[in-house]
Amino acid sequence: MEREVLIVGFPGAALLDVAGPADVFGAAAKARGGYRVRIAAVGGDFDASGVRLAAEDLRDVTGPVDTLVVVGGHGFEEAARDVELAEHLRRLASGSRRVASVCTGTFPLAAAGLLAGARVTTHWAYCARLAAEHPSLEVVPDAIYVCDGRVATSAGVTAGIDLALALLEQDHDAALARLVARWLVVFMQRPGGQSQFSVRARVPPVREPGLRALLDAIAEDPAAPWTVDLMARRAAMSPRHFARVFPRRVGVPPARYVERARVEAAAGALESGDEGLDVVARRSGFGSAETMRRAFLRVLGVTPGGYRDRFRTTGVA
């Protein structure tokens, strides 16, 4: 059976948002068949990253569509306000097996009412905005991609390749996904729950030297016993002042930041080694595997075992 993948763009779309998934499904079609990739936009041809792309007029696409993919790019705001685009997305999604987005393509899909109540992600710079504009969504800000039932969403730009490879594996098997990844000379898709950026890299610049030193120390040794008193001393602040300043400068309470740093350390251990979950938990600063499991679910939306299984499924050539 040939599955039709319809990639929907708009003026100001990101070229790689279009090309990444198109190349993944196109390569799979050449290797094993089973896919037909089409590109469409309201009115037909559109500009993506300054390149004019040939596209079908979305008005003429009647379906049925197996996988509806909406891309992102700097033109996403106008696309999200495009009433005609929303109408066509709803029309085509009604008969599709799944709907997906790359990067800020979540905004047009959400505006069309196609993501209500779903767990989703988008480009890291727009996660807070997506959550504010669409409170019915459960936005997972750190994920590379999220698959929730028939809805699949990815983080920014290159994450569309990760998502497409994951969907390819769902449709077929890991062997075909690995073959396509090797053909495209890319890494196998990163686990869906993997963080878009390191904990330390996501913190906005802080002006206090002591606080900067503390953040670096936590990143270097997340398993240390980081109590509030210890962190305050390392930051050269009183505990009371520290408790006020840290959330304002870093964006999260101290305990939450430490938890994220430990999850990041544990994720790295799960990716690269085969130690038991109890050992990984202790070495990452968690008291037990159960504590680590709860932290992974809060931060990444997956269990440690699920994270490891996902990596091993797609990370071995």
Q: Where are the domains of the chain?
A: 3-184, 200-315
Under CATH, domain 3-184 is a member of which superfamily?
A: Class I glutamine amidotransferase (GATase) domain (3.40.50.880)
Ranges of residues in the chain with a pLDDT under 50 are 189, 313-317
User: CA gyration radius for the chain?
Assistant: 21
State the catalytic residue, choosing from 65, 69, 100, 103.
103
Q: Which two tokens stand for residue 52?
A: 């004019």
- Give me the pLDDT at residue 315, please: 37
Alpha-carbon distance values, 154 to 84, 215, 310 (Å) = 24, 28, 16
- Give me the pLDDT at residue 309, please: 76
Q: Is 139 helix (H, G, I), strand (E, B) or coil?
A: strand
**Domain 200-315, CATH:** 1.10.10.60
β-pairing, 119-120 vs 138-139, is parallel
103 counts as catalytic: yes
For residue 66, give the DSSP letter. S
- Give me the pLDDT at residue 195, please: 57
Contacts of 96 (CB under 8 A, 6+ apart): 63, 64, 65, 66, 67, 68, 150
- Give me the pLDDT at residue 178, please: 84
d(CA 52, CA 283): 52
For residue 121, give the DSSP letter. -
- Give me the pLDDT at residue 90, please: 98
Q: Which two tokens stand for residue 18?
A: 């279009």
The separation between the first and the last C-alpha atoms of the chain, rounded to the nearest angstrom, is 27
HEC secondary structure over 237-268: CCHHHHHHHHHHHHCCCHHHHHHHHHHHHHHH
- Give me the pLDDT at residue 163, please: 94
